[in-house]
Chain A
């Protein structure tokens, strides 16, 4: 079974530029998450989708971050404009459902460096 795919693996941009990350979840997984993991910290949930609808985006900085999940499969996360403090690993995860007893599978992440 293929895992969660993310691209690119690495990205270096200058502050104020824009960047986009792509995620392809495990086939059949209705729930998709984007996490931000700053070096030395645990993952922080940015946004959660159930199919193509947003379940939770309370921690998404909406003035610069946006995400979409068209057709309820692939998802993209965009940052525009980027700030130095956005340097982090962006992890995508998916699960079969959004129930509390469901395990999430993570992708390898995109390491973003903003200079």
Chain B
């Protein structure tokens, strides 16, 4: 039931792009993306709802493919502040926010 995130870890240089994938074995109604820095609380990035929409915020965007039951997070021209662990939380109950989180993807941005 837990979604699978890939890759588990990635190391980039500042300015490079990254893609983080989140796949579920169950039908998805929503996908929530969070970033967590070491020792801190997870911080909300964005929500994608069933309907195949794509969202973006500056250089971070995401897509949701409900047929494939997966979502992808795109980080373009990465900045040092993007470092952290990214979690996808999948909503498997329509209309409800009961989330099942993936194991996380650790992103390290080096200067």
Contact = CB atoms under 8 A, between A and B. Distances in A.
Given A31-B97, A42-B87, A103 B44 contact: yes
Contacts of B32: 103-104
A51 B94 CA distance: 20
Interface string A98-113: 1111111111110000
Nearest to B29: A100
Among B30, B34, B95, B99: residue with most chain A CB under 10 A: B99
B91 interface: yes
Q: How large is the interface on B (under 10, 10 to 19, 20 to 34, 35 or more residues)?
A: 20 to 34
A41 B42 CA distance: 13
B42 A45 contact: no
Contact of A42 (B44, B49, B98, B104): B104
A3 B103 CA distance: 25
A48 interface: yes
Contact of B42 (A43, A44, A100, A101): A43
Interface in A20-58: 31, 40-45, 48, 56
B99 A107 contact: no
Among A4, A95, A105, A106: residue with most chain B CB under 10 A: A106
Interface residues of A, number: 25
A91 interface: yes
Given A42-B104, A100-B30, A101-B49, A48 B41 contact: no
Interface of B: 2, 29-30, 32, 34, 40-44, 47, 49, 87, 89, 91, 94-104
22 contacts: A31-B97, A40-B103, A41-B103, A42-B87, A42-B104, A43-B87, A43-B101, A45-B99, A56-B98, A99-B95, A99-B96, A99-B97, A100-B30, A100-B47, A101-B30, A102-B47, A103-B32, A104-B97, A106-B41, A106-B42, A107-B41, A109-B41
